[in-house]
């Protein structure tokens, strides 16, 4: 039986607190798919214990399992084709430029509170101390990995990019050691290659960082440290503006710690470019 049908069959047999949860989940599945159990309980004005018991009544062993099912159901209902249609047909007030920029501004304003300065600072410290920083991201996440890799190289941080799937991905992962750091980037889909890389990093004793959208995703649940990012509504083809801004915040923190090296590289590049111009 589908999850929605299962929830509807429970109507009329629940306590007032449970009914709050039921109706919230039926009407706000997209929102609930990325909420922690604490956030769900707060939204319904019930205790965490009540929310957890309700999830078990639905037949799930944990809240994480329930959330993964919600996300899978949403992906089934709204595929890439439908997202493109929804986005292409979206009309906003004030013209398309204002509408697009306003949506990104709104996302940033809503999600800023989820970023913790102390967490990002600690991740920056670990990046600087790692023997090598492995950057894993497939699909649209590759854009963020490319950005991080480019900036880290300027600061003299050894990196390995894991942006090609299959055997090529594993040929990079196999060199990971306990002295390295694995940063995995992903949105609603967690690729099997990245799951394997995270399991391998844990086996080797390496620290892992997850940059992702859903607290229930494999990347976020299996990481030692996490940076939450959101892109916008599940039903649309969303922008990378906010995720890129968050990655830039991390880069800036690393730069604070590697300023001298970055300046040295920039000066050397200027010198080499001047030699190139002399040849012309």
All residues at 6 or more sequence positions from 18 whose CB lies less than 8 Å from its CB, including other chains:
10, 50, 54, 57
Same domain, 10 and 115: no
Going edge to edge, which strands form the sheet with 159-162? 159-162, 133-136, 181-186, 207-212, 225-228
One domain, residues 119 and 202: yes
Distance separating alpha carbons of residues 67 and 83, to the nearest angstrom: 21
Residues 234 and 122 occupy one common structural domain: yes
22 and 153 assigned to the same domain = no
Q: How far apart are CA 78 and CA 76, in angstroms?
A: 6
- CATH at residue 124: 3.40.50.10490
Question: CA distances (Å), 196 to each of 108, 174, 182, 199, in order?
Answer: 31, 11, 12, 5
Ordered DSSP codes for 19-67: HHHHHHHHH-HHHHTT--HHHHHHHHT--HHHHHHHHHHTT-SSHHHHH
pTM for the whole thing? 0.72
CA distance 5 to 18: 16
If asked whether residues 61 and 126 sit together in one domain, one would say no
- Out of 57, 77, 97, pick the residue that ends a domain: 77
Most confident of 26-30, 64-68, 188-192, 208-212: 208-212
Mean pLDDT of 134-158: 94
Q: For residue 275, is it within any domain?
A: no
In a domain, 180, yes or no: yes
> Collapsing DSSP states into helix, strand and coil, what is residue 238?
coil
User: Structurally, how many domains does the chain consist of?
Assistant: 2
Range of the domain at 234: 110-268
Is 28 a domain residue? Answer: yes
Strands 159-162 and 225-228 turn out to be unpaired
114 and 71: one domain?
no
Average of per-residue pLDDT values in the chain: 85
In a domain, 97, yes or no: no
Sign of CA dihedral 77, 216, 5, 51: negative
Q: Is residue 86 part of a domain?
A: no
Residue 158 domain-assigned? yes
pLDDT tens string 185-237: 988 677 889 999 999 999 999 999 999 886 656 788 789 999 988 876 665 66
Shared domain check, 47 and 167: no
Q: In this structure, what CATH number is given to the domain that contains residue 60?
A: 1.10.10.10
């Amino acid at each position: 039986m589908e999850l929605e049908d299962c929830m509807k069959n429970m109507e009329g047999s629940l306590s007032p607190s449970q009914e709050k949860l039921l109706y919230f989940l039926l009407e706000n599945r997209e929102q609930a798919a990325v909420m922690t159990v604490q956030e769900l309980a707060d939204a319904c004005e019930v205790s965490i214990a009540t929310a957890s018991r309700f999830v078990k009544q639905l037949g799930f062993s944990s809240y994480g399992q329930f959330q993964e099912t919600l996300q899978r159901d949403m992906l089934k209902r709204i595929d890439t084709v439908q997202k493109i249609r929804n986005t292409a047909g979206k009309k906003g007030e004030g013209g398309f430029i204002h509408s697009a920029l306003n949506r990104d501004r709104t996302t940033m304003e809503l999600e800023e509170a989820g970023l913790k300065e102390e967490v990002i600072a600690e991740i920056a410290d670990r990046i600087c101390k790692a023997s090598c920083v492995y950057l894993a991201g497939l699909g649209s996440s590759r854009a963020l990995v490319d950005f991080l890799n480019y900036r880290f190289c300027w600061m003299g941080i050894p990196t390995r990019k894991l942006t090609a799937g299959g055997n090529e991905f594993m040929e990079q992962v196999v060199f990971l050691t306990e002295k390295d750091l694995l940063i995995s980037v992903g949105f609603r889909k967690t690729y099997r290659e990245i799951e394997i890389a995270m399991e391998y990093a844990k086996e080797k004793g390496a620290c892992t960082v997850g940059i992702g959208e859903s607290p229930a995703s494999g990347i976020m649940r299996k990481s030692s440290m996490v940076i939450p990012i959101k892109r916008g509504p599940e039903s649309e083809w969303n922008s990378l503006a906010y995720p890129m801004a968050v990655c830039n915040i991390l880069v800036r923190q690393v730069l604070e710690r590697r300023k001298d090296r970055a300046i040295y590289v920039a000066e050397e590049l200027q010198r080499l470019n001047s030699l190139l111009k002399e040849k012309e």
